Amino acid sequence: FELISDEGYRFDGRKPSELRRVRCNMGVFTQADGSAYIEQGNTKVLAAIYGPHEASNNMRSRVCLDKCFINCEFSQAMFSSAERKKRSRGDRKGKDMSAHIKQTFEAAVRTQLYPRSQIDIYLQVLHSDGSLYCACVNAATLALIDAGIAMKDYVCACSASLTKETSLIDINHVEELAGCAEFSAAIMPKLDQIIYSELNGRIHQDELGQLVDAVTNGCKDIFAVIDRFEVITDNTEIAVSPRSLHS
């Protein structure tokens, strides 16, 4: 089973440095403070943000006096993967993913502005086809912007894999199962900083630089797509409120 055909195309017809189609929308829910939906190819994730608000009773022990704490929960729908898997909410994979995403956003959200508060990030995967962490991070970024929570920069995440000395960007489920090394990272594109990275599998030290570059480029591409959507939404809302608000 070849990940790259002889002509240089991948399993789903993409070139190695090509992203899947990204579509997104903000403000999907009315009750949450911020919400967003993102589709990266067939991976579909919904994010909802509640906060910043007063810490709920069962989380009072985690309140910090000088910053807010971020509470994240990741869940996958039963019908999200090809075989139906009965997943309980607190299973290890879910907790692992929640912890990674929480760590990512603690670096990006300006937590010192919201002392003693709590920000909830809830992610729901509707359809899973690889690069789950990346889609979740991108959805959560849009949802945080929708909620008006102060952040240092966008957070864009992308994954890459290495095969036959070519890096493949934005890997899907089939490519994940192929067993090559997989590298995911979340970066802040404008400030050009990596805030989270994870490597699964084994690669040679010389190949690391190539992977990191590939992922960084992938993240910047995703940022270009998200930014454009976001600004369009901004425009439509501004249009209807007369400028007299500024008086």
CA dist 231 and 54 (Å) reads: 30
The radius of gyration of the chain's CA atoms, rounded to the nearest angstrom, is 19
Shorter beta-carbon distance to other proteins: residue 108 or 180: 108
Among 22, 43, 120, 140, binds other proteins (CB under 8 A): 120
Distance (Å, rounded) from C-alpha 28 to C-alpha 140?
Answer: 13
Tallying the residues shown for the chain, one arrives at: 247
Q: Which positions from 186 through 205 interact with other proteins, judged by CB under 8 A? A: 188-191
**Least distance from other proteins to the Cβ atom of residue 24, Å:** 8
What residues between 65 and 104 interact with other proteins by CB under 8 A?
71, 73, 75, 77-82, 84, 86, 89-90
Q: Which is nearer to other proteins, 115 or 201 (CB)?
A: 115
152 neighbors 191 (Cβ within 8 angstroms):
yes
Give the span between the Cα atoms of 6 and 204, in whole angstroms: 24
Least Å from the CB of residue 233 to other proteins = 7
**Hey, which residues between 23 and 62 contact other proteins (CB under 8 A)?**
23-25, 28-35, 37, 39, 42, 46-48, 50-54, 56
Smallest gap from Cβ 218 to other proteins, in A, equals 18
Smallest separation, CB 90 to other proteins (Å): 6
Cis peptide preceding 242, ω within 30 of 0 = no
Closer residue to other proteins (CB): 90 or 201: 90
Other Cβ atoms closer than 10 A to 66: 8
Residue with Cβ nearer other proteins (98 or 167):
98
* Contact criterion met (CB below 8 Å) for 226 and 37: no
Tokens standing for residue 119: 């920000």
